[in-house]
């Protein structure tokens, strides 16, 4: 019989009690329960305050990418993720551009958009004019809810109104343009959208439904550029290969999803290490890639007059240093300290540079020896560990499987048995 999962009052219990229930329900061993309990740098108590129904924690590897020279400043870049090769690729690619000055980045400011949906408006275009005419009052009301943000120079700066056609007829969308300073801003913007809603109803004569931030952060873009000397990436053929790989991605969404995923390997890893809302970044990135109506590359690749590789990246980057997990997760705080960034836009620019580095590393590997060579060694170690190898045996078995071109779980198991038997 299936175990009933409708445990009454589960959410009210302390983590230990919840863990006990789950342990008994699914038959976890004491060792497994202990592993869940050992939450590493984040105390169970703190984890319990971050999300609901907590019973433990999961630790990701935390690594530091090297070689990043961004706007003439060196950075050690913390990255947290489970995928092998990403940190090595970022570090290598960052090294390839140092001779050309590294990464050059800029941003459009920490500006987010809050949307207020209005339905049932008889004269949407007339209502749009009425809302815009009352812009200053709307902004005052929005800013009244967050004096701290205003004090730091942020706050609601503008109001825009659009009339959209939908399957339910025309609707008005009133957009608050909010400078979020060093916050990612979702809470701040959502609060503003909620507080001005009654005023928007009054001005439009309609009914307000949704009041929520947009993750398509087109006003919070980060831009990065880097030149990679042809000799640093492996010669002219590799440069041409990267250009062909880019052209393929930009023309075909099936390839482009994977191309942009490579960029997100770097973006999300730094985001995770620094406690960002990486779902917000993913949503923004892919929506931005599709903004023309066709899903396209977030980066561009060209050849300079000298035959070097010129890469650029432009994408939304809604990251913060205040609020969210960044402010409460002790490891995220350490990550920010390692990076040494002082503002949210500086963090955004570093992440943009990492995205570009990750992209060139993947394109270079794909256009030359293929992605598997670099991947395989690390992947082989994971497979060996999964098959039960420990200590020195992990590397030994991994090396053997790579040599045999047979990185497979069944082969790893055989080798574990064979080699563990030997004295
Ligand atoms: P927050 O509300 O915790 O912190 C922001 C507030 O900090 C500001 O409103 C301001 O009052 C204050 N502040 C102090 N010093 C500041 C400074 N220098 N710059 C800016 N603000 C300063 O956090 P938030 O950034 O508004 O919201 C982020 C959280 O919202 C994330 O955890 C995210 O996951 C969550 N969230 C996301 C979405 C979404 O992306 N769709 C929706 C809802 C919630």
- Pair 51, 85 in one domain: no
Q: Is residue 6 part of a domain?
A: no
Q: How confident is the model at residue 374 (pLDDT cuts 50, 70, 90)?
A: low
Average the pLDDT over each of 21-25, 93-97, 383-387 and give the range with the smallest value: 383-387
- Pair 166, 289 in one domain: no
Name the more confident of 403 and 76. 76
State residue 135's pLDDT score. 98
Domain count, the chain: 4
Query: Rounded CA gap, 243 and 263, in Å?
Result: 16
Name the residue range of residue 46's domain.
21-59
Query: For all residues of the chain together, what is the average pLDDT?
Result: 95
* Active-site residue identified among 100, 375, 379, 400: 375
State residue 423's pLDDT score. 58
Query: Looking at ligand 1, which residue's alpha carbon is closest to its atom 4?
Result: 323
Distance 188 CA to ligand 1 centre (A): 5
**pLDDT tens column, 26-69:** 999 999 999 999 988 999 999 999 999 999 999 999 999 999 99
Nearby residues of 368 by Cβ (< 8 Å), 6 or more positions away: 234, 238, 241
Query: 80: closest CA among 113, 133, 112, 40?
Result: 40
Average pLDDT, stretch 81-109?
A: 97
Q: How confident is the model at residue 421 (pLDDT cuts 50, 70, 90)?
A: confident
Alpha-carbon distances of 167 from 117, 128, 164, 171, rounded to whole Å: 14, 20, 10, 10
* Active-site residue identified among 16, 83, 158, 175: 83
286 among known catalytic residues: no
Last residue within a domain, chosen from 213, 231, 263: 213
State residue 2's pLDDT score. 66
Q: How confident is the model at residue 371 (pLDDT cuts 50, 70, 90)?
A: low
- Pair 246, 389 in one domain: no
**pLDDT tens column, 209-232:** 999 999 999 999 999 999 999 999
pTM score, whole prediction: 0.90
Instruction: Give the three-state DSSP class for 268.
Output: helix
375 among known catalytic residues: yes
Last residue within a domain, chosen from 368, 388, 408: 368
- Pair 31, 89 in one domain: no
Q: Is residue 9 part of a domain?
A: no
Query: Rounded CA gap, 347 and 356, in Å?
Result: 14
Within its chain, how far is the Cα of 2 from the centroid? 36
State residue 324's pLDDT score. 86
Query: What CATH number did the domain enclosing 416 receive?
Result: 1.10.8
Q: Is residue 2 part of a domain?
A: no
- Pair 142, 273 in one domain: no
Question: 171 has which bridge partners?
Answer: 164
State residue 372's pLDDT score. 58
CB 354 within 8 A of CB 65: yes
Residue 346, ligand 1, Cβ within 6 A: no
- Pair 92, 240 in one domain: yes
- Pair 69, 55 in one domain: no
160 among known catalytic residues: no
State residue 422's pLDDT score. 61
- Pair 134, 243 in one domain: no
- Pair 99, 141 in one domain: no
Query: Rounded CA gap, 91 and 103, in Å?
Result: 13
Q: How confident is the model at residue 25 (pLDDT cuts 50, 70, 90)?
A: very high
Average pLDDT, stretch 62-91?
A: 97
State residue 379's pLDDT score. 81
Percent of the chain topping pLDDT 90: 91
403 among known catalytic residues: no
**pLDDT tens column, 104-128:** 999 999 999 999 999 999 999 999 9
- Pair 163, 43 in one domain: no
C-alpha distance across the termini of the chain, in Å: 46
Query: Looking at ligand 1, which residue's alpha carbon is closest to its atom 9?
Result: 188
CB 328 within 8 A of CB 46: yes
Percent of the chain topping pLDDT 70: 98
Q: Is the pLDDT of residue 1 over 80?
A: no
Q: Of all helices (H) and strands (E), which one includes residue 109?
A: none
């Amino acid at each position: 019989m299936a175990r009933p999962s409708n445990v009454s009052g589960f959410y009210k219990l302390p983590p230990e009690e919840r863990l006990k229930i789950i342990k008994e329900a699914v038959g976890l061993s004491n060792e497994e329960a202990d592993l869940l309990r050992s939450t590493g740098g984040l105390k169970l108590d703190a984890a319990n305050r971050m999300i609901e129904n907590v019973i433990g924690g999961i630790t990701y590897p935390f690594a530091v990418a090297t070689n990043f020279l961004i706007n003439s400043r060196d950075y050690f870049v913390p990255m947290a993720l489970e995928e092998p090769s990403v940190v090595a690729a970022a570090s290598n690619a960052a090294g390839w551009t140092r001779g050309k000055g590294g990464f050059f980045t800029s941003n459009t400011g920490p500006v987010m958009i809050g949307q207020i949906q209005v339905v049932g408006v008889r004269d949407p275009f007339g209502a749009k004019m009425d809302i815009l005419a009352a812009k200053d009052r709307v902004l005052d009301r929005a800013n009244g809810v967050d004096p701290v943000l205003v004090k730091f120079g942020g706050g609601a700066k503008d109001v825009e109104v659009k009339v959209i056609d939908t399957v339910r007829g025309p609707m008005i969308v009133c957009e608050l343009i909010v400078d979020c300073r060093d916050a990612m801003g979702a809470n701040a913007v959502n609060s503003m959208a909620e507080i001005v809603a009654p005023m928007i109803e009054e001005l439009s004569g309609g009914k307000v439904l949704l009041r929520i931030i947009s993750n398509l952060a087109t006003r919070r873009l980060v831009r990065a550029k880097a030149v990679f000397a042809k000799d640093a990436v492996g010669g002219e053929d590799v440069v041409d290969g990267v250009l062909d790989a880019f052209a393929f991605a930009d023309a075909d969404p099936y390839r482009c999803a994977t191309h942009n995923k490579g960029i997100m390997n770097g973006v999300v890893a730094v985001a995770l290490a620094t406690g960002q809302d990486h779902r917000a970044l993913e949503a923004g990135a892919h929506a931005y890639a599709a903004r023309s109506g066709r899903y396209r590359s977030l980066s561009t690749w060209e050849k300079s007059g000298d035959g070097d590789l010129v890469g650029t990246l432009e994408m939304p980057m809604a990251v913060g240093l205040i609020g969210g997990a960044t402010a409460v997760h002790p490891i995220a705080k350490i990550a920010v300290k390692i990076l040494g960034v002082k503002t949210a836009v500086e963090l955004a620019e570093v992440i943009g540079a990492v995205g570009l580095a990750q992209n060139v590393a993947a394109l270079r590997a794909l256009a030359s020896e293929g992605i598997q060579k670099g991947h395989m060694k690390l992947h082989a170690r994971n497979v060996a560990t999964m098959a039960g190898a420990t200590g020195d045996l992990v590397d030994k078995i991994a090396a053997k499987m790579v040599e045999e071109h047979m990185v497979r779980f069944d082969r790893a198991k055989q080798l574990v048995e064979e080699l563990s038997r030997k004295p």
